Amino acid sequence: PAADWVGVSFPEMVHRDDAAAAEYEQARLSRPPYHISREFRVEAGQGWRWIAWEETALRDELGQVMAVRSIGRDVTKHRLAEEHFCKLAESVEQAPVSVIIMTPGGTPQYVNARFTQVTGYTLENIFEQEIPLLRDGHATEADYRRCCAMLATGEKWTGELQTRRSDGRQEWEFVQISPIRNQLDEITYLLCLREDISERKELEEQLRQAQKMECLGTLAGGIAHDFNN
């Protein structure tokens, strides 16, 4: 309520983490151009709110500051949205799997640090060398077209692909590609997650070889036994 403002020192309402910055900005009002724009938290009836202030020093005929006109706009939702976006962006950038965002046509728009670490490619390399990431790893053109057809209908595609690194090596990856829709339910981007499973595939191959050798050993033992009999 307006009555609660009377007699209250405005700095007392500022969040302590913003107090030093607010005090510094306030001092600038006494110097040309006698106008500042700033954002800080103030205590309101709903708790701490981010307010964007436009403040102008009002001066008399001698140029002395008589008062300050402050116009505040509540930007709390905008600030929270920014913080949420920053957390999301940081999580994607530090994700333990490769993350690729591309257009429905397969043109990459973003790759995270894990993708560059695993493949050796940056987004600039992909554009310069025209690397078709959506096509990469599909054994045949028919397999690739089936993947595109599923994505075009809004379905998610998953599978294991043998993709190529910048040094020419091929590695196995578990790949998930999901369409991203806008508010009009139109597919605007594709989100591709790629997990390196080369070590797992190698262990599986070693296990198959061991099982094969065990079967051969059992078969040879049976033959020897029959021969001796």
Task: Check pLDDT > 70 for residue 227.
Answer: no
The residues, any chain, with a CB within 8 Å of residue 90's CB and separated by 6 or more, are: none
The pTM for the full model equals 0.66
The answer to whether residue 221 scores a pLDDT higher than 70 is no
> What's the rounded Cα separation, in Å, for the pair 14 and 21?
10
Please say if the pLDDT value at position 224 is more than 60: no
Please report the pLDDT score of residue 201 as a whole number. Answer: 73
Per-residue confidence (pLDDT) for residue 2, from 0 to 100:
78
Question: What is the distance between the alpha carbons of residues 39 and 59, in angstroms, rounded to a whole number?
Answer: 23
Q: What is the predicted pLDDT for the residue at 5?
A: 77
Is the model's pLDDT at 220 over the cut of 70?
Answer: no
Percent with pLDDT over 90 in the chain: 54
How many Å from the N-terminal Cα to the C-terminal Cα in the chain? 105
Question: For the residues 187-208, what does the mean pLDDT come to?
Answer: 85
38-74 tens-digit pLDDT? 899 988 888 899 999 999 999 998 888 888 898 999 9
Instruction: Quote the strand ranges of 29-80, DSSP E.
Output: 35-44, 47-59, 65-74
pLDDT, tens digit, 9 for 90 and up, residues 103-124 = 999 999 999 999 999 999 999 9
Provide the residue type at 25 as one letter: E
Q: Tell me, what's the pLDDT at 216? A: 63
pLDDT for position 226: 58
Q: Mean pLDDT over all residues of the chain?
A: 87
Q: Give me the mean pLDDT over the 137-153 stretch.
A: 94
**pLDDT, average across residues 23-32:** 86
**Cβ distance 185 to 193 under 8 Å?**
no
Residue 203 has pLDDT above 80, yes or no: no
Which of 199 and 115 is assigned the larger pLDDT? 115
- pLDDT value for 202: 75
